[in-house]
């Protein structure tokens, strides 16, 4: 008799970065994708996690729609009740809770910032999940759907720990704002998470970093903390800014503390005097960026070393939005007492879709244990084969070739000749980084290649660096104190002798946010870099996400074709098809 499958559908349903993930009865991850990809709306603000077309796709492609479904949301029941109260208050008295914070500054460090953030989240929080039940019932006559809630930071921790290469680890979750606070600490061992300490209150290192991003003239709603990290190496320490930041945030064990409100208001005045104005370039606030990153690292050092004293493990797992600070991630092992670090491919709120699904699965299967290995990030959608075939048949493209078995060698030749190539293969990466399946690739040797891509393809600021994808076995040859970085999650320093070989991917401070590539993780991408090395002697490529500034990574064949013909890309690879201009 056929055994009925049970599926766990995890939703990330905050007001930003919604996502959906699917785990089957065996605990295998079948699918994970952020809503911004199919919607092609950066960060998909206030959009549902369960976008209807995605739900239909995963039910038909990856599930038996007659099975049993558990829909999991990364918010606790207590938080659900609180959100319901916030919704009632907001609907009856619109003045009691601000609808959105004014760039998170006016309400910093007061309860209002918590209430404001939660009020924004209410829309996404309430609507997610209904589409799944509706489609199952109307299209598949299946009413076997139940709903489960898990705490927000537990979902972050589950995503980070259950996808780690560790059997035992200390886990830290730090984001802008969770349910009742922005920091949580966990012990992880053989598939079991144990809460150790939770910080409650409005204090948030993530929000402080976001404010510094705003003071540099960037937009945290667009996720432009990357820009602060890219700009920081162009500056130097500003003693006045550092003193102001140290006066705002004080580390207290595993917590941080703020001073009284009058001192916070004084901090704002001091920081605004240093902030970028409309007539200033980004480089004019580079010292502010450098000092902000310096201070962030200083606080993280103290928090992590304090947590290390609990004696849980030498292994550290980082989750939450602050896990995206790759500049600091690359320094954790040398700056703190932890010896090994894991950051998942999607540590921010989109990763909570996967974390909540995995957490519900392991709660239902207490004897099961995750495999301690590097887990594949290639969990998203594939390109439509039918659309690719239609393109080849009806596209009228004179310079289109079908090259099964040799596409990597021909692409390597184009790259070695200095061409800019859009490279699309297999399933999309889960998380914000392009890891060789939705990438724009180039030769890292020409010194002007970075400027060429910025001006012709990405249309972004000149101070932002590009990443190296390097064959893992050559990592020690190019980087000091090399660490394996499968998800492009950490920044390391190039060796002095290696910098001149690949100037296009060496940042101004001699670093690169690298991706380690092994054949068992991504065979075709590995073969492409190996073919490029055979032609050039260089075992790496310049890799950046297949998008332009302000847009999500491409999702469909149509997205890829549109970007190809409206930018300065020279060639486009779609699976086995190669199109040249």
Residue 66 burial (CB count, 10 A): 13
581 residues of the chain, pLDDT tens digit each: 457 899 999 999 888 899 999 999 999 999 999 999 999 999 988 788 888 889 999 999 999 999 999 999 998 777 776 666 655 555 444 444 344 334 444 444 444 444 444 544 544 555 567 889 999 999 999 999 999 999 999 999 999 999 999 999 999 999 998 888 999 999 999 899 999 999 999 899 999 999 999 999 999 888 899 999 999 999 999 999 999 999 999 999 999 999 998 899 899 999 999 999 999 999 999 999 999 999 999 999 999 999 999 999 999 999 999 999 999 999 999 999 999 999 999 999 999 999 999 999 999 999 999 999 999 999 999 999 999 999 999 999 999 999 999 999 999 999 999 999 999 999 999 999 999 999 999 999 999 999 999 999 999 999 999 999 999 999 999 999 999 999 999 999 999 999 999 999 999 999 999 999 999 999 999 999 999 999 999 999 999 999 999 999 999 999 999 999 999 999 999 999 999 99
CA dist 319 and 218 (Å) reads 24
CA dist 72 and 69 (Å) reads 10
Which burial class, exposed, middle or buried, applies to 65 when counting CB atoms under 10 A from its CB (0-12, 13-18, 19+)? middle
Q: What are phi and psi of 180, to 5 degrees?
A: -120, 0
Whether the pTM exceeds 0.85: the reply is yes
Give the dihedral sign, CA 231/553/55/372.
negative
Asked whether the beta carbons of 304 and 338 are under 8 A apart, the reply is yes
| Residue environment code for 359-370, b if the CB has 16+ CB neighbours within 10 A, otherwise e | bbbbeeeeeeeb
Alpha helices of 187-238 — where are they, by DSSP H?
A: 205-215, 225-231
- Cβ-Cβ contacts under 8 Å for 326 (sequence gap 6 or more): 229, 488, 489, 490, 491, 513
H-helix or E-strand containing 168? strand 168-174
Please, what are the domains in the chain?
A: 6-163+349-364 (3.30.420.40), 199-342 (3.30.420.40), 385-580 (3.90.870.20)
Nearest to 97 by CA among 79, 81, 117, 68: 117
Sheet of strand 467-471: strand arrangement: 400-402, 577-580, 571-574, 421-424, 438-442, 540-545, 467-471, 511-517, 490-493
Alpha helices of 365-406 — where are they, by DSSP H?
A: 385-394
Enter the DSSP assignment of 64: -
CA dist 316 and 352 (Å) reads 19
**What is the rounded end-to-end Cα distance, in angstroms, of the chain?**
56
CA distances from 344 to 226, 317, 506 (A): 17, 8, 24
């Amino acid at each position: 008799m056929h055994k009925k499958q049970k599926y766990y559908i995890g939703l990330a349903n905050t007001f930003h970065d919604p996502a959906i993930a699917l785990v089957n009865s065996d605990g295998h991850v079948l699918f994970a994708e952020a809503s911004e990809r199919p919607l092609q709306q950066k960060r998909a603000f206030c959009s549902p996690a369960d976008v209807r077309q995605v739900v239909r796709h995963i039910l038909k492609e990856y599930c038996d729609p007659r099975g049993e479904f558990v829909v999991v949301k990364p918010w606790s029941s207590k938080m659900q009740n609180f959100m319901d109260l916030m919704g009632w208050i907001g609907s009856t008295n619109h003045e009691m809770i601000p609808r959105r914070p004014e760039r998170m500054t006016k309400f910093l460090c007061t309860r209002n910032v918590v209430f404001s953030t939660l009020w924004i989240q209410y829309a996404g929080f309430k609507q997610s999940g209904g589409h799944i039940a509706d489609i199952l019932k109307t299209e598949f006559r299946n009413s076997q759907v139940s709903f489960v809630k898990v705490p927000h930071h537990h979902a972050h921790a589950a995503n980070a720990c259950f996808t780690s290469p560790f059997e035992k680890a200390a886990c830290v979750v730090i984001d802008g704002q969770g349910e009742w606070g922005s920091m949580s600490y966990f012990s992880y061992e053989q598939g079991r998470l144990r809460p150790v300490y939770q910080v409650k209150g409005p204090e948030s290192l993530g929000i402080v970093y976001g404010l510094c991003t705003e003071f540099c003239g960037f937009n945290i709603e667009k996720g432009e903390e990357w820009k602060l990290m890219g700009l920081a190496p162009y500056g130097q320490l500003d003693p006045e800014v550092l003193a102001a930041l140290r006066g705002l945030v004080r580390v207290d064990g595993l917590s941080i503390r703020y001073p009284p409100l009058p001192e916070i208001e004084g901090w704002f005045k001091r920081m605004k005097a240093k902030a970028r104005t409309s007539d200033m370039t980004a480089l004019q606030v580079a010292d502010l960026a450098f000092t902000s990153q310096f201070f962030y690292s200083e606080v993280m050092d103290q928090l992590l070393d304090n947590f290390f004293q609990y004696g849980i493990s030498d292994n550290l797992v980082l989750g939450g939005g602050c896990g995206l600070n790759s500049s600091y991630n690359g320094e954790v092992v040398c700056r703190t007492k932890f010896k090994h670090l894991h950051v998942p491919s999607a540590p921010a709120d989109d990763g909570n879709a996967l974390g909540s699904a995995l957490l519900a699965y392991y709660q239902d299967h207490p004897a099961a244990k995750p495999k301690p290995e590097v887990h594949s990030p290639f969990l998203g959608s594939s390109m439509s084969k039918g659309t690719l075939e239609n393109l080849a048949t009806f596209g009228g493209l004179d310079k289109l070739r079908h090259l099964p078995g040799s596409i990597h060698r021909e692409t390597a030749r184009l790259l070695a000749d200095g061409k800019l190539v859009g490279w699309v293969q297999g399933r999309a990466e889960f998380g914000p980084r392009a890891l060789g399946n939705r990438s724009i690739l180039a030769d890292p040797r020409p010194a002007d290649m970075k400027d060429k891509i910025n001006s012709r393809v990405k249309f972004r600021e000149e101070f932002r660096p590009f990443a190296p994808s390097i064959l893992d076995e050559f990592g020690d040859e190019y980087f000091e104190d090399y660490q394996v970085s499968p998800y492009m999650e950490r920044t390391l320093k190039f060796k002095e002798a290696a910098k001149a070989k690949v100037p296009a991917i060496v940042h101004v401070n001699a670093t690169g946010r690298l991706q380690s590539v092994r054949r068992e993780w991504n065979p075709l991408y590995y073969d492409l870099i190996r073919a490029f090395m055979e032609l050039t002697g260089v075992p790496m490529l310049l890799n950046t996400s297949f998008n332009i500034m302000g847009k999500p990574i491409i999702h469909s064949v149509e997205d890829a074709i549109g970007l190809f013909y409206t930018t300065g890309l020279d060639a486009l690879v779609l699976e086995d098809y190669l199109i040249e201009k």
